[in-house]
A = this chain, B = another copy of it.
């Protein structure tokens, strides 16, 4: 039984990455202050910092220190933040609100939001090259490659493109999984991988086990998101319409039914924990995170 106290751990990790993100944004030359304001707005958006937390926890699981993973954590969050800004644009999901706050293109304007996303993406790569930590050059290059592959046509952007193509179509479970594996899964896997790579002694077996873990929680994260959408629409809005809309979209509950979707999330959580079998107590944060991902209510 995992009795690891996750809440204070999450709070520590969030504070840690927030401080580091602030450092990198403050480091930028204020050539165009409005652009920097938009980047800061997009980055400090009340997010749960799941990707940074995974990076810290993975670094610790393999015997490293969270302090070594600060820049990796920042870079991951910058990529995630840029993707949210671009996803929210009128031409994409056309969302005016995110976590109850105006989205970046509403708070600023569309052109600034596009540029802020673009600049956050390349800042992520700048951070990985400039990080003052003791990571050797070959590892840094592997990290940059891992992050770019996870963000590009074979990862996040590719998954987002698949999602656009799927709009209004009915999908098989396999097709839905393919979208999520890329759209959100790739960056979650990269988070765990990059965190582990910050510790020089990580061996290939450990990396492989962590990859299995990350694959399972990446999907679990999406399944739970879909479940929360259905429950949230029904319970919070107190009406069926939202729920119907959610069901018209290809989601796990729509394809599988609500209870089988819940079972799937639990099964993926168990898979993730099984992948960590050979790790000692230092992987407890990762174990607790898997549980958190499928039991969170928002």
A residues lining the B interface (CB < 8 Å): 28-29, 31-32, 34-36, 39, 82-83, 86, 89, 91-92, 105, 109-112, 114-115, 117-119, 121-123, 125-126, 128-130, 137-138, 140-142, 144-145, 147-149, 151-154, 157-162, 164-165, 182
Contacts and interface: CB of A to CB of B under 8 A. Distances in A.
Contacts of A28: 152-154
A34 B112 contact: no
A31 B89 contact: no
Contacts of A144: 125, 128-129, 144
Given A114-B89, A115-B157, A161-B112, A122 B31 contact: no
A126 B111 contact: no
B86 A161 contact: no
Nearest to A142: B129
Contacts of A157: 35, 115, 118-119, 122
A24 B161 CA distance: 19
B35 A161 contact: yes
A165 B32 contact: yes
